[in-house]
């Protein structure tokens, strides 16, 4: 079942402003390295309930990196260094799933037929 909605979990902030997406969540939602996700983070148990949202790419080892500006905003809001703190994280797909083809209407079908006829006429004239 691929990641289609939001998933929330708690993670420990690691070195270089990174946190790991739980392995079971990565397996269940088929999250691959290089996938772009929308992440929302907030400090767990904080009196300040504001959260920060950003886009992040999943690294090979299943971690996401919080951008420097976002980390600075969180640290200023909490008025302390956040190294090793627990984060409440919500991830979701970076884009809404769309249909591969737009809905067909009669005009589109007619235009496609005309293109096919022209293509066939050009091939017949050349060959």
- Quick: pLDDT tens for 20-79: 999 999 999 999 999 999 999 999 988 877 899 999 999 999 999 999 999 999 999 988
| pLDDT over threshold 60, residue 99 | no
β-sheet bridge partners, residue 11: 87
Residues 6+ apart with CB under 8 A from 124: none
């Amino acid at each position: 079942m691929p990641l289609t909605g939001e998933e929330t979990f708690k993670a420990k902030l690691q070195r270089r402003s990174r946190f790991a997406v739980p392995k079971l969540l990565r397996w269940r939602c088929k999250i691959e390295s290089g996938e772009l996700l929308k992440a929302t983070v907030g400090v767990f148990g904080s009196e300040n309930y504001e959260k920060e949202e950003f886009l992040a790419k999943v690294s090979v080892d299943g971690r996401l990196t919080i951008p420097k500006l976002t980390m600075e905003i969180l640290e200023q809001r909490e008025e302390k260094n956040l190294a090793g703190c627990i984060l409440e994280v919500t991830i979701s797909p970076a884009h809404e799933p769309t249909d591969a083809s737009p809905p067909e209407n009669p005009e589109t079908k007619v235009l496609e037929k005309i293109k096919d006829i022209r293509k066939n006429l050009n091939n017949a004239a050349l060959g």
